[in-house]
Structure formats: C-alpha cells, structure tokens
Amino acid sequence: MYNTSKSPMMILEERYAKGEITKEEFDRMKMISEFNRFFSSKTLASTYKPTFVKCLLDLGDYNEYEGSEWVKSNVDRLTVDLNFVAARFLRYYHPLKFKFKLKQEATPKTIAIYRILEEYSTLIGTKSTPSKKKLSSEKFSEMRQKAIKDGIKPQVLKKLLNDCKIYTISKGSNSIEIKKDIVKFMKDNKKVLESALNHMISGYLEKCNSSPNISTKLEERIPRTVLGKSDFQKIISMQTSSCFYCKSEGTEFAQEHFIPWNFLYQTEDYNIVASCKKCNSSKHDKLPERRFLDLIIQRNKELSNLPMGYSDEFMRNLYENCRTEYHGKDKDLWSI
C-alpha cells in the first residue's frame, strides 16, 4: 500500500528503488507521467507551450528538407537546434493569424509570434500557409531567429520545463537535448499526443474568441464541403433561379457561404445561398451588408432541416461575431 498523499513520481521512484520495476519500465512510466502532468496543468497562460511540444512531435519523422541539418544524433539523444522548432512554430501560427484570424489574448495585446508574422507578411505571404520546407530555407533565417529571440526563448523554453521535463537546454540556450526513447514515444503516439495538444490549444483560444469550430480549424485537414445537389437545388428554387445578392436570373450558380467559410468552417443549409459567379467572386471572404442578413434570416424560415439550436438570434449573433472577430468592425461590409 502506497501513501496516496505522495506524488505519482515519488511513488514511481519508490517502486524502482525497491526493485519492483525495471529501469526500462521506470523510464517509460516517468516519461508518461511527465506528459500527464503537462496535460493536466491548470496554468496555461498562452498557446506557446502546447505549440512548442507539437513542434517536437516532428522529431520522429521529419523530412530531410524540413530542417534535418538542425538535428544531430548522439548515443542516446538528439541535439535539436531551435531553428527546427521555430520553422514549425511559424508554420502552426500562420493560419491562426491570417486564415482564421484568431486572437491569442483576451485583450487587444498582440503576442510576439503574431507581431513577427505581421512584420514579415510580405515575405511570407498571407493567403496560403507556407510549408515547413519553405520556412526551413535560408530565405526565412532572420524571421526564425526573431521567433526564437522574441517568442520561444523568453516565453516557453525554460517555462515549459516547470510542467513537462522532456528535454534539457544546451549551453547557450540555442538548442535542446531530448532522449531518443522520448522521441520514439512521441513518434509511436503522435496522433494521440497531437489531438491532446490541439485540445489544450483550442480550450485556451475559446476563452479569447467567439469563433466557432476552433478545434476543427486546428486540424487543418478539413476539406471545404458543399451541399448535396438536391439540397442546393431547393435553395435555387427558393430564390426563383436568381442570385441571392444581385437578383440576376440564370441557370448556373455557386454555393456561396453567407458567413465566410474560414470563420464558420462548416457547410450548413442556413448559411448557403445561390450566387452568380460575379457576386461570388466579388464577395469572396467578406461579410455582406446587414440588409442581406435580414434577407437570409427570412429565407431560412422556409428551410425544413435547420439544425437544433438555430434561431434568428443565433444567426444575428453569428453575423456580429464574424464582423467583430473576422471581417473587422471598422472595415466596410461587402455590397453589390
């Protein structure tokens, strides 16, 4: 019988000292204990820590063009230059800032990694998420160094060790050392760990944003879906075969997301309108004028398969949240 007032780590050490478990079992259980301690932490002050660990998951199967020169193999451990982490750090935060426009703080304050992405936005681009290979190139060396200096070192490198001792910091703080058995554990359990880390990140972001489906957005692999042919045809018929926005008649229409796809990140009947190609192209990722909101709310009263929880108020709140957090409250709304 073990004293339940002792920490799991103390109990584990006692069992090892008494010869009840082998060194290999002790090391593995200790490693699992560290990850459990991190995932049960109640003191998450930003998304930096889980994102840093998410970057380390790549150590088990990174591509040679994605920073292999920054990883040196020793007898029982890897020495990892922080450039390896910085390239991935920038990669993971890029869509959160530019594609989904998610705040990282509950206040107007901007975190360092967002400031860096904004500073180098012309170089890195904002419309598509850059690859790890691209961010590992010499072209982005200065940007990576800034991410290390202003974000990774002061905000996460040492602080993470208070919650999860899975690496040591090398002399000079420009690299870390991580045991190969930890790297193997992360590789073998990558999907589970990635899911748990995304859960931590989304939980924090939900406190700062009203944007829906944040956990789904973090997966990044969700394809843009469309309504079935028969469902969309019903919408076209409800609009008397004319564009929802400009009212021009036609035979070919685009499935247009009234509330932008990147904000809602799902395709539902209540948010889809039939749009002519000209209006669809012009509106793109913008929020339409409020008069169109009144029209779609009225149109939705005719839909028979609205999801549970839908109401006029729900649609209006969705519109206002999108305007505040995604479209931009001070930006002009789209109109024909």
Residue 273's closest CA among 235, 312, 227, 303? 235
Query: Any idea which of 2-6, 22-26, 53-57 has the lowest mean pLDDT?
Result: 2-6
Closest CA to 45 of 267, 181, 171, 204: 204
Which domains does the chain show, CATH number per domain?
Answer: 41-219 (no CATH), 229-328 (3.40.1800)
pLDDT at 105 over 70: yes
For the segment 288-336, what is each residue's pLDDT rounded down to a tens digit? 999 999 999 999 999 988 999 999 999 999 999 999 999 999 999 999 9
High-pLDDT (> 90) share of the chain, %:
79
Q: How far apart are CA 91 and CA 68, in angstroms?
A: 16
Q: What is the structure's pLDDT at 230?
A: 94
pLDDT at 1: 46
How does the average pLDDT of the chain come out, rounded? 91
Q: What is the pLDDT of residues 33-76, one digit of tens each?
A: 888 889 988 778 899 999 999 999 999 987 788 999 999 999 99
Q: How confident is the model at residue 20 (pLDDT cuts 50, 70, 90)?
A: confident
- Per-residue pLDDT band at 175 (split at 50, 70, 90): very high
What secondary structure does DSSP assign to 99-159, as a single string? IS---SSSSS---HHHHHHHHTHHHH-SSSPPPHHHHTSGGGHHHHHHHIIIIIIIIIITG
pLDDT confidence band for 195 (50 / 70 / 90) = very high
pLDDT band (50, 70, 90) for residue 220: confident
What is the pLDDT confidence band of residue 109, given thresholds at 50, 70 and 90? confident
Is the CB of residue 71 less than 8 Å from the CB of residue 84?
Answer: yes
Residue type, 34: E
Q: Would you say residue 5 has pLDDT above 70?
A: no
- Has residue 2 got a pLDDT over 60? no
Percent of the chain past pLDDT 70, that is, above it, reads 95
Arithmetic mean of pLDDT, 263-280: 96
